[in-house]
């Protein structure tokens, strides 16, 4: 890979891509604390975009500019950091590393053509990194690995490399390894060139490696060459290599770059970026930039998602052609209370220009509060974001990423296309939010502003689902986890000035009769003038679970006039909705109207409605009323090593394990169980803790079952209906 240390800087201007083949869209992926943001700062400094690298602990980094990120000292948003290296524009997409913000991470992968996995030499490979690697493998996304923090006391590059190969396979091979002088890291040794790159003076100086490293170079170089040759399209290389021929380094580098671009070879690099009070040189930026610009594919080499006509029709592929039909996707939306809505857009085909009209289409997320829409909108100014700074650009061509202002209806995941030929892209997969958090406004003023603020948050974040539960009368945010919920509540206060507080989540229970009973409803009032008169006798009996409600008319002799029989049923239904014991809806009963009395003048529809309700309450006072709880069918995907702990935990939650299914390969198992909803309101947090972030689950409503008596008594005591 060529040395391009003398590259042009990027001071004060936005880099613009002239052609798609000169663009690299790269997502930084890795667990929280691996050093992605610090690495971004080092790359921006190395390419002249910033004069001095910012620090996470000081809140001065380019990509972590949100108030929440500065306070928490971790990334919670997708951020774009473009720079130029040589004649290539790199759109570096810094993604959050915490599992709660996987929505932004997947959006970053959607916008990228390659993924750079950042792994800490101190912490190694965690479960989330393994899962993300598998996701990239499923879509054949090219990958490379950069090992950070190799200069720290507990940082071990060799041990981390072994863990990487164990986790990701033999195709993960180092191109360099770090060297030190005993006091700290001094540089790298290139395995193909067999040259030492000494950074001890602050500048990269090429020299001969120390003799002590020659055996290690020979061993690791042989493994690297064999790995490259196995992926080479030149089938004669292996025979020549086995025959003892020295393969030209330039040819090996070309084959390596092609294999990386195809997604079949994964180079490992080492870097060191001083942080805090840790002294030392910045090491490995030039080598990393060479891999990113020369080995990672351009948008022309990475296939575009499928599109289909909005009006309907078969899906088809599009080409990355600046002169083709416009197809772009909103990968991130930010609603600023002062600036308005800003959309980060990846252009897959065509050219996006300011002050033009585009068609905005969004479909498939109505269950999360995102309405389906097809609307034409006028594009505002285009800019190239650098953290919170927006730098104006004249156009955004196919393969590039930009920010668009004033798209008031566009939401994350929407497609922008030509109004004359509106298209919609196949959506990317978003995980289901499974942690319900009930909130309420702290004041009337907050309540007035809450709806609009939540609408903007939903537009930004497709992993958030908003539920206004009419039954429990609670506003529920369905989140990815506790950290996600904390950020949303914080953002409501800091960005929109809306203060909310969390309240205990109410699970919608049901009531039913525990046996057969008779009830008398007598509504007789006379206060002068026209009175109210309605009397009815009913019989109530329980039905099997899920049968609902039946009303039977057994009136003989017209003791209740025909016009008032529907009134009795209506009154019974109204009382069923209000409940008869703890205020929850009454279900699965049959009510039979047996007898009653009417008055020729004072009987009315309202009188018999009241009598029907009183009769149901009277019957309920004579038999036990059972509380029913909702039970969910739960499927848990877990690594085999955690299966015992998860099954034991499900049992402790009053769950019934129905069976398991081993998934091959990967050492994972699906556990299927039936679990009461009362026991899994915080299961998203607990499962993550049990499985070290590797477990996931899906839940769906199954049926209602009787609540155990000790829990039913507690609920009835707390919410007894007067």
Written in H, E and C, the secondary structure of 190-220 is ECCCCEEEECCCCCCEEECCCHHHHHHHHHH
What does the radius of gyration of the chain's CA atoms come to, in whole angstroms? 32
Q: How far apart are CA 114 and CA 104, in angstroms?
A: 16
Mean pLDDT, to the nearest integer, of 317-339? 87
Residue 444, Cβ neighbours under 10 Å: how many? 7
Q: Where does CATH 3.30.70.870 sit in the chain?
A: 435-502
Most confident range (mean pLDDT) of 19-23, 199-203, 239-243 is 19-23
Q: Which class for 612: exposed (0-12), middle (13-18), buried (19 or more C-beta within 10 A)?
A: buried
- What 3 state SS string does 114-154 have? EEEEEEECCCECCHHHHHHHHHHHHCCCCEEEEEECCCCCC
Beta bridge partners of 589: 542, 549
Identify the pLDDT of residue 692: 81
Identify the pLDDT of residue 160: 92
Strand ranges (E), 442-563? 465-469, 474-479, 500-503, 510-513, 517-525, 532-542, 549-553
Q: How far apart are CA 557 and CA 550, in angstroms?
A: 22
Token pair belonging to 493 = 């206060």
Identify the pLDDT of residue 279: 64
| 377 closest CA partner among 402, 352, 408 | 408
Residue 530, Cβ neighbours under 10 Å: how many? 9
CA torsion angle 510 514 516 522 (round to 10): -50
- Provide the pLDDT confidence category of residue 278 given band limits of 50, 70 and 90: low
What fold characterizes domain 20-295? Rossmann fold (3.40.50)
Q: H or E stretch including 293?
A: none
Residue identified by tokens 């829409």 is 373
Residue 572, Cβ neighbours under 10 Å: how many? 27
**CATH among 3.30.230.10, 3.40.640.10, 3.40.1360.10, 1.20.120.450 for 510-623:** 3.30.230.10
What one-character-per-residue DSSP string does 49-68 give? SSSS---TTTT--SS--SHH
Identify the pLDDT of residue 302: 87
Mean pLDDT, to the nearest integer, of 583-610? 92
Check whether 231 has a pLDDT greater than 90.
no
Mean pLDDT, to the nearest integer, of 170-193? 87
Most confident range (mean pLDDT) of 217-226, 246-255, 331-340, 535-544 is 535-544
Classify strands 143-148 and 172-174 as parallel, antiparallel or unpaired. unpaired
Q: Say what percent of the chain tops pLDDT 70.
A: 94
Identify the pLDDT of residue 344: 93
Identify the pLDDT of residue 4: 40
Token pair belonging to 302 = 């990475």
Mean pLDDT, to the nearest integer, of 45-60? 84
Assigned CATH class of 435-502: alpha beta
Q: Where does CATH 3.30.230.10 sit in the chain?
A: 510-623
Q: How far apart are CA 153 and CA 161, in angstroms?
A: 17
pLDDT tens figures, 566-592: 999 999 999 999 999 888 899 999 999
**Burial call 354-376: b when 16+ CB within 10 Å, e when fewer:** beeebbbbbbebeebbbeeeebe
Check whether 358 has a pLDDT greater than 50.
yes
Q: Where does CATH 3.40.50.300 sit in the chain?
A: 20-295
Identify the pLDDT of residue 201: 83
pLDDT tens figures, 609-628: 999 999 999 999 999 999 99
Mean pLDDT, to the nearest integer, of 458-464? 85
628-719: CATH number: 3.30.70.240
Q: Is residue 147 a contact partner of residue 271, using CB atoms and an 8 Å limit?
A: yes
Mean pLDDT, to the nearest integer, of 256-263? 90
Q: How far apart are CA 110 and CA 346, in angstroms?
A: 9
Check whether 11 has a pLDDT greater than 80.
no
pLDDT tens figures, 501-551: 999 998 999 999 999 999 999 999 876 667 899 999 999 999 998 899 999
SS3 content of the chain, % helix, strand, coil (to 5): 30, 30, 40
Superfamily of domain 306-425: Translation factors (2.40.30.10)
CA torsion angle 236 237 238 239 (round to 10): 50
Token pair belonging to 430 = 């978003």
Helix, strand or coil for residue 266? strand
How many angstroms separate the Cα of 513 from the Cα of each of 360, 471, 484?
52, 20, 41
Q: H or E stretch including 676?
A: strand 668-676
Residue 713, Cβ neighbours under 10 Å: how many? 12
Average per-residue pLDDT in the chain?
A: 87
Terminal Cα-to-Cα distance of the chain (whole angstroms): 80
Residues with Cβ within 8 Å of residue 590, at least 6 apart in sequence: 540, 541, 542, 543, 549, 550, 551, 552
Q: Is residue 627 a contact partner of residue 633, using CB atoms and an 8 Å limit?
A: no
Q: Is residue 365 a contact partner of residue 413, using CB atoms and an 8 Å limit?
A: yes
| 700 closest CA partner among 638, 630, 641 | 630
Identify the pLDDT of residue 6: 37
Beta bridge partners of 362: 373
Residue identified by tokens 């195709």 is 171
Q: Where does CATH 3.30.70.240 sit in the chain?
A: 628-719
Region class of 718: left (phi > 0), else alpha (psi between -120 and 50), else beta = alpha
Mean pLDDT, to the nearest integer, of 251-271? 91
How many angstroms separate the Cα of 208 from the Cα of each of 1, 189, 195, 199, 346?
18, 9, 6, 13, 44
Helix, strand or coil for residue 390? strand
Identify the pLDDT of residue 722: 37
Q: Which class for 219: exposed (0-12), middle (13-18), buried (19 or more C-beta within 10 A)?
A: exposed
Helix, strand or coil for residue 521? strand
- What 3 state SS string does 303-333 have? CCCCEEECCCCCCECCCCCCCCCCEEEEEEE
Q: How far apart are CA 666 and CA 366, in angstroms?
A: 34
pLDDT tens figures, 641-685: 899 999 999 999 999 999 999 886 667 899 999 999 999 999 999
Residue identified by tokens 């080598």 is 287
Q: Is residue 325 a contact partner of residue 350, using CB atoms and an 8 Å limit?
A: yes
**What are the φ/ψ torsions at residue 601 (nearest 5 degrees)?**
-110, -45
Residue identified by tokens 């603020």 is 453
Q: Where does CATH 2.40.30.10 sit in the chain?
A: 306-425
Token pair belonging to 488 = 């949303």
**Burial call 454-480: b when 16+ CB within 10 Å, e when fewer:** bebbbbbbbbbbbbeeeebebbbbbbb
Mean pLDDT, to the nearest integer, of 434-462? 90
Mean pLDDT, to the nearest integer, of 462-475? 88
Residue 57, Cβ neighbours under 10 Å: how many? 11
């Amino acid at each position: 890979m060529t040395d391009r240390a003398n590259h042009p800087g990027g001071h004060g201007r936005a880099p613009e891509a002239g052609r798609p083949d000169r663009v690299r869209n790269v997502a930084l992926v890795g667990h929280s604390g691996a050093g992605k943001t610090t690495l971004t700062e080092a790359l921006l400094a190395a390419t002249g975009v910033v004069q001095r690298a910012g620090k996470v602990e000081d809140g001065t980094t380019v990509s972590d500019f949100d108030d929440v990120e500065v306070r928490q000292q971790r990334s919670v948003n997708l951020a774009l950091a473009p720079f130029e290296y040589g004649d290539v524009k790199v759109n570096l997409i810094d993604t959050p590393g915490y599992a709660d913000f996987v929505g932004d991470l997947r959006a970053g992968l959607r916008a990228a053509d390659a993924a750079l996995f950042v792994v800490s030499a101190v912490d190694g490979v965690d479960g989330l990194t393994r899962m993300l690697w598998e996701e990239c493998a499923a879509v054949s996304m090219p990958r490379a690995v950069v090992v950070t923090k190799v200069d720290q006391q507990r940082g071990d590059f060799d041990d981390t490399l072994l863990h990487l190969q164990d986790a990701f396979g033999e195709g993960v091979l180092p191109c360099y390894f770090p060297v030190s002088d005993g006091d700290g890291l001094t540089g790298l040794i290139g395995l193909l060139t067999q040259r030492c790159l000494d950074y001890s003076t602050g500048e990269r100086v090429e020299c001969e490696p120390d003799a002590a490293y020659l055996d290690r170079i020979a061993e690791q170089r042989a493994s690297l060459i064999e790995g490259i040759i196995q992926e080479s399209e030149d089938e004669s290389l292996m025979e020549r290599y086995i025959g003892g021929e020295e393969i030209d380094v330039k040819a090996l580098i070309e084959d390596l770059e092609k294999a990386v671009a195809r997604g079949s070879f994964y180079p490992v690099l080492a870097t060191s970026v001083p942080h805090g009070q840790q002294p030392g040189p910045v090491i490995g930026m030039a080598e990393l930039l060479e891999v990113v610009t020369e080995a990672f594919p351009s948008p022309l080499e990475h296939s575009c998602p499928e599109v289909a006509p909005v009006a309907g029709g078969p899906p088809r592929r599009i080409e990355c052609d600046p002169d083709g039909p416009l197809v772009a996707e909103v990968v991130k939306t930010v609603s600023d209370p002062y600036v308005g809505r800003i959309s980060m857009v990846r252009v897959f085909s065509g050219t996006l220009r300011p002050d033009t009209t585009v068609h905005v289409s969004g479909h498939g997320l109505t269950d999360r509060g995102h309405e389906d829409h097809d609307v034409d909108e006028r594009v505002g100014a285009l800019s190239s974001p650098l953290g919170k700074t927006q730098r104006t650009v004249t156009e955004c061509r196919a393969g590039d990423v930009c920010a668009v202002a004033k798209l008031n209806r566009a939401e994350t995941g929407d497609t922008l296309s030509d109004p004359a030929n509106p298209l919609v892209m196949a959506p990317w997969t978003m995980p289901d939010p499974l942690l319900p958090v009930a909130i309420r406004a702290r004041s009337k003023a907050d309540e007035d502003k809450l709806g609009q603020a939540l609408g903007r948050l939903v537009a930004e974040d497709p992993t958030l689902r908003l539920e206004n539960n009419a039954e429990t009368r609670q506003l529920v945010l369905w989140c990815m986890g506790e950290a996600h919920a904390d950020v949303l509540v914080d953002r409501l206060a800091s960005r929109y000035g809306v203060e909310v507080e969390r309240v205990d989540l109410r699970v919608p229970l049901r009531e039913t009769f525990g046996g057969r009973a008779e009830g008398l409803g007598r509504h007789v009032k006379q206060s002068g003038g026209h009175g109210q008169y309605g009397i009815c006798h009913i019989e109530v009996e329980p039905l099997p679970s899920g049968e609902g409600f039946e009303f039977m008319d057994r009136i003989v002799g017209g003791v209740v006039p025909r016009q008032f029989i529907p009134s009795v049923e209506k009154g019974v239904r109204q009382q069923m909705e209000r409940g008869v014991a703890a205020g929850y809806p009454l279900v699965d009963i049959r009510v039979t109207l047996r007898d009653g009395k009417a008055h020729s003048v004072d009987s009315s529809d309202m009188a018999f409605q009241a009598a029907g309700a009183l009769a149901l309450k009277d019957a309920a006072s004579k038999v036990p009323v059972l509380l029913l709880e909702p039970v969910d069918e739960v499927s848990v995907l877990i690594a085999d090593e955690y299966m015992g702990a998860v099954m034991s935990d499900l049992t402790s939650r009053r769950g019934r394990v129905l069976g398991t299914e081993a998934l091959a390969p990967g050492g994972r198992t699906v556990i299927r169980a039936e679990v009461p909803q009362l026991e899994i309101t915080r299961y998203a947090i607990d499962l993550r803790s049990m499985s070290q972030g590797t477990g996931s689950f899906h839940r769906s409503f199954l049926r209602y079952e009787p609540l155990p008596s000790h829990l039913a008594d507690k609920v009835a005591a707390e919410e007894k209906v007067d």
